[in-house]
């Protein structure tokens, strides 16, 4: 149980385009999901908390108009990187609470974004 998937696993795009990343909880319902970003050799940085049916809560310094989050159902949250630039190239990882526990986060496999 507690399986989280992400799609795509990697994406390469041109500067100025938008990219959508999906995060799904496969065997449980997730009212809360989290989006992280990780640059090489650095730790995970929380970008935002995604709550089903309401607006996401963004961490300080994260541009909400650039990183659009939609959590329209109990099993799906999406992150759209709008007008991507090379500095947005990173490893994006989502996580969710398992449903049985409101305390333990399980991570998706991550999406590696490269902006040319």
> Which residue of 17, 73, 83, 104 would you call a contact of other proteins, by CB under 8 A?
104
Residue 108: which of 52, 38, 40, 55 has the closest Cα?
38
Beta-strand relationship, 90-97 and 111-115: antiparallel
Contact string 30-69 vs other proteins (x = CB under 8 A): --x-x-------xxx-x--x--------------------
Count of positions on this chain that bind other proteins (CB under 8 A): 19
| Contact by Cβ (8 Å): 93, 79 | no
Helix (H) or strand (E) holding 57: strand 57-58
Q: Which is nearer to other proteins, 8 or 109 (by Cβ)? A: 109
Question: Is residue 96 within the footprint of other proteins (CB under 8 A)?
Answer: no
Question: Is residue 11 within the footprint of other proteins (CB under 8 A)?
Answer: no
d(CA 107, CA 114): 21
Q: Residue numbers of the site for other proteins (CB under 8 A)?
A: 32, 34, 42-44, 46, 49, 91, 93, 102-110, 112
């Amino acid at each position: 149980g507690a399986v989280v998937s992400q799609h795509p696993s990697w994406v390469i795009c041109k500067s100025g385009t938008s990219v959508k990343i999906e995060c799904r909880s496969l065997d449980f319902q997730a009212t809360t999901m989290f989006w992280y970003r990780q640059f090489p050799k650095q730790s995970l940085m929380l970008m935002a908390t995604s709550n089903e049916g309401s607006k996401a809560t963004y961490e300080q310094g994260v541009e909400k108009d650039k990183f659009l989050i939609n959590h329209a159902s109990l099993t799906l949250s999406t992150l759209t990187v709008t007008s991507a630039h090379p500095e947005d190239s990173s490893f994006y990882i989502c996580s969710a609470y398992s449903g049985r526990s409101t305390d333990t986060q399980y991570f998706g496999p991550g999406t590696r974004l490269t902006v040319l």
